[in-house]
Chains A and B, each alone.
Chain A
């Protein structure tokens, strides 16, 4: 028996050992450059702020307590509300979009590619494109001025409207793809059976198609809500100084405000929101579909 065979034999008798060998390099990388930084940040969020930036030794909860301040509560509330509105709009537009793709016979692959493409193209470039449309000298204002609808440019950029447009624009594909995936699996015979049994179109949709595509809807809600909560670039470029979301607060504390511990605490506030959203979604999914729980 060759040495190679013998070595591999050990692996196959004890698959866990071979498994760990494969997991080792990537696992260590993620431990050192993902998990460890998170732990460091937790530590920093519990320490007093240093006089010249940085932290001092000690233990305090003051940075978490600061969130009771109405200024920061407002940022948290705004973040959750905007993420919620973004998710709702994405669902209202994304469901019909996914439906149209699933119902198309000839162009399905192309229509799907048209959803995937913007999702992968540079978020930065797409946000610029939004600025280009919305600014005072942008396409929308120029068109409205040209048509004589308005006399002076309407302020669109640096408003909540701009941020919400940017968020929907950025995350709409994340709603479409999972809904499409579950609609595609839907057996047309189910809808035909409902029709034969006398269900009208609305009833067929509400009582058959919608419940069967619910896993896709739930996945889509999660996939849009989570990145909206943590988004930074959209509010940074489209929102201006007054439309701050929690991601911008985090960045600001580490760059200009130089308050590391508060920035770290704000990071955990975002993480908490994200994890609650993930947990809730998984709960709902497992309740509806015990098989997926496994």
Chain B
């Protein structure tokens, strides 16, 4: 394609500025010594030091890591299995499964969260880390399945057929051909699922019980009370951590069609 016209570049530049400036400002001011004003009064790490003493943040981080790890592993397994099952061709009930995968991706988070809350209340399940984990697995399954399916669709089916012709049974062919080829997709799907779980506020806050707040729920509480410099500091740390994971996932999904598709279904929040 030939170089884009000037006006296109100007709008694109403004778009990039709009996408990145707010967060950059937040990061820069997390090092500002002044507590209240927007004027720069000197570099400080005080707000980061203040974070270390906050037990609620540490508890939140612990809860987020537990929920994130369990829900990611479970969703990665279930999602990959579904993607493989759907790749086996046409059968009765296939459309039903596909609908069951597509609906969670378009359902607003607040609706998903409320309906799960209803279920847990009606069956008398106490709200806590368990209910949060159950909810996170549910919203991540569809998501992993979509990423792995995209990878599977781009895979050369003749490799598996070659393995089968050469005498491998299906399990061996799966282990030595399909799985290694699929691995980057599964890993990227799992990484993104972990990020979704780690960042989720809306669904989590609805199905969380007293004392089971994850990091975003604690941070939201901080923001509701007062937008203070420590909030900028914790936000910066969260941004750094997730950006590293995003970079990794992006490397794994270098195949651009896959990354574009993978980015699609993520629901907002």
Q: List residues of chain A with CB under 8 Å of any chain B CB.
A: 4-5, 8, 11-12, 15-16, 18-23, 25-27, 29-31, 33-38, 40-41, 44, 92-94, 96-97, 99-104, 109, 112-126, 128-133, 135, 137-139, 142, 168-174, 176-178, 180-181, 183-184, 186, 188, 191, 201, 219, 223, 226-233, 237, 247-248, 250-251, 254, 260, 263-264, 267, 270-271, 274-275, 278
A275 CB, min distance to chain B CBs, angstroms: 8
- B119 lies within 8 A of A132 (CB): no
B36 CB, min distance to chain A CBs, angstroms: 7
Per-residue CB proximity of B106-130 to A under 8 Å, as 1/0? 1111111011111100100000000
What residues on B are CB-neighbors of A94 within 8 Å?
A: 15
> B23 within 8 Å of A by Cβ?
yes
Report how far A139 CA is from B220 CA in the complex, Å: 21
Q: Which of B46-54, B177-185, B236-244 contacts A (4 or more CB under 8 A)?
A: B236-244
What residues on B are CB-neighbors of A177 within 8 Å?
A: 260, 263-264
Interface centre among B15, B88, B107, B259 (most CB of A within 10 A): B15
B171: contacting residue among A8, A20, A31, A248, CB under 8 A: A8
B112 — nearest CB in chain A belongs to which residue? A34
> B8 within 8 Å of A by Cβ?
yes
B71 CB, min distance to chain A CBs, angstroms: 11
> B142 within 8 Å of A by Cβ?
yes
What residues on B are CB-neighbors of A274 within 8 Å?
A: 106-108
What residues on B are CB-neighbors of A227 within 8 Å?
A: 108, 267-269
CB contact list, B249-269 vs A, under 8 A:
249-250, 254, 256-257, 259-261, 263-264, 266-269
Interface centre among A35, A94, A130, A275 (most CB of B within 10 A): A35
- B79 lies within 8 A of A26 (CB): yes
Interface centre among B18, B81, B263, B264 (most CB of A within 10 A): B263
> B147 within 8 Å of A by Cβ?
no
- A129 lies within 8 A of B88 (CB): no
A124: contacting residue among B78, B122, B220, B266, CB under 8 A: B220
Report how far A231 CA is from B9 CA in the complex, Å: 30
A122 with B110, Cβ < 8 A, contacts A19-B86, A93-B14, A188-B1 known: no
- A40 lies within 8 A of B117 (CB): no
B231 — nearest CB in chain A belongs to which residue? A128
Interface centre among B12, B20, B110, B138 (most CB of A within 10 A): B110
A174 with B264, Cβ < 8 A, contacts A33-B116, A37-B118, A115-B19 known: yes
A132 with B269, Cβ < 8 A, contacts A19-B89, A172-B18, A177-B260 known: no
> B225 within 8 Å of A by Cβ?
no
Q: Which of B55-63, B96-104, B151-159 contacts A (4 or more CB under 8 A)?
A: B96-104
What residues on A are CB-neighbors of B14 within 8 Å?
A: 93
Count of chain B residues near A, Cβ 8 A: 101
What residues on B are CB-neighbors of A33 within 8 Å?
A: 116, 119, 134-135, 137-138
Report how far A234 CA is from B112 CA in the complex, Å: 17
Report how far A274 CA is from B111 CA in the complex, Å: 11
What residues on A are CB-neighbors of B259 within 8 Å?
A: 112, 116
What residues on B are CB-neighbors of A40 within 8 Å?
A: 115, 118-119, 122
What residues on B are CB-neighbors of A118 within 8 Å?
A: 19-20, 23
What residues on A are CB-neighbors of B93 within 8 Å?
A: 20
- A15 lies within 8 A of B89 (CB): yes
Other CB < 8 Å A-B pairs besides A38-B115, A118-B20, A135-B227, 17 of them? A22-B88, A23-B81, A29-B141, A30-B104, A96-B7, A97-B12, A114-B19, A120-B242, A121-B243, A123-B269, A128-B26, A128-B231, A128-B235, A131-B223, A172-B15, A174-B264, A230-B111
B67 CB, min distance to chain A CBs, angstroms: 15
What residues on B are CB-neighbors of A92 within 8 Å?
A: 11
- A93 lies within 8 A of B4 (CB): no
A65 CB, min distance to chain B CBs, angstroms: 20
> B175 within 8 Å of A by Cβ?
no
Report how far A201 CA is from B29 CA in the complex, Å: 45
Report how far A31 CA is from B5 CA in the complex, Å: 50
- B219 lies within 8 A of A124 (CB): yes
- B269 lies within 8 A of A5 (CB): no
Report how far A124 CA is from B218 CA in the complex, Å: 11
A129: contacting residue among B86, B107, B235, CB under 8 A: B235
B223 CB, min distance to chain A CBs, angstroms: 6
Interface centre among A15, A102, A122 (most CB of B within 10 A): A122
What residues on B are CB-neighbors of A138 within 8 Å?
A: 38
B139 CB, min distance to chain A CBs, angstroms: 8
What residues on B are CB-neighbors of A176 within 8 Å?
A: 15
11 of the cross-chain contacts (CB-CB < 8 Å) are A26-B81, A26-B82, A40-B122, A97-B16, A114-B19, A131-B223, A132-B25, A132-B232, A188-B2, A229-B108, A250-B110
A23 with B118, Cβ < 8 A, contacts A117-B243, A118-B23, A170-B268 known: no
A148 CB, min distance to chain B CBs, angstroms: 15
- A223 lies within 8 A of B269 (CB): no
> B73 within 8 Å of A by Cβ?
no
A16 — nearest CB in chain B belongs to which residue? B91
Report how far A270 CA is from B266 CA in the complex, Å: 18
